A and B are shown apart, each in its own frame.
Chain A
Amino acid sequence: MRDYLVLRVIAKLMITFMLLFALYVQFHGDFGPGGGFQAGVISAAAIVFYGIIFGLQAARKVVPDWLVETMIGAGVLLFAGVGVAGLLLGGNYLDYFVLGANPVDGQHRGIFWVELGVLITVAGVMLKIFYMFAGRGEGGGE
């Protein structure tokens, strides 16, 4: 697939658009449809697209294995960490209204960090699953 010029050019255009769209969906999840899960899946799909067109080795160079594995754990830790922060600042676990100056600000901040944690974990897991499935055939056949 590396030799088809049209596919390569279109892929480069579309991948940047897809990543940008994933970020837009993530940060506009408050005002329109969207949120962490959709953004995570879309950004993972962008990297998978890159891997399909340019080869699994190239994708592994761009997003290496250790980064993906770190992402999987980091998102859950971020989410749990927001809960613990609520605990340390005086409320119950996963209370957001203690995180800011007034309750609504606290809610905004809490929801932002929580959605970010969701994005990181979902993108990491989807990408890791793709790497595992695609890498399975490489070791045996190709």
Chain B
Amino acid sequence: MTAVANHFSYWATLFIAIAGLYIVIARGNLVKKLVGLAIFQTSVYLLYIAPGKLIGGTAPIIADGFAVYSNPLPHVLILTAIVVGIATLALGLAIVVRIKEAYGSTEEDEILAQDQATLDPLSETKT
């Protein structure tokens, strides 16, 4: 039981991560897939920051009266990761916008069906 108490933060993070993974794999709508990807990314931030906290510690800003500081190194890495995550999200959404204009929908099934429909006539005879 101490294993559960000690590792609870990791398991909560893992639940959110696999929920995000499930959304990416199992849902057909492209925008929802991107939301699932963003959820997965934020769970990874939690995974890195949770081990950095110390009991009785405070935010890593040097001030008089505080002796124990939480670890600042994961904060730096995750700050970069958040900004890179939004860059990825913006590019993904731009691609979704172009796909919507080209195919007319954002459902994965309909897009694949349209691709199949245009591929088959090309493989038969040349005009």
A interface residues (Cβ-Cβ under 8 A, vs B): 31-33, 35, 37, 122, 125, 129, 132-133, 136, 140
Contacts and interface: CB of A to CB of B under 8 A. Distances in A.
A133 B93 contact: yes
B61 A33 contact: yes
B95 interface: no
Q: Please classify the interface of chain B as helix (H, G, I), strand (E, B), loop, or mixed, using the class held by over half of its residues.
A: helix
A140 B100 CA distance: 13
Interface of B: 59, 61, 79, 82-83, 87, 90, 93-94, 97, 101
Given A132-B94, A133-B93, A136-B97, A31 B61 contact: yes
Contacts, number: 18
Nearest to B91: A129
18 contacts: A31-B61, A32-B61, A33-B59, A33-B61, A35-B79, A37-B79, A37-B82, A37-B83, A122-B83, A125-B87, A129-B90, A129-B94, A132-B94, A133-B93, A133-B94, A133-B97, A136-B97, A140-B101
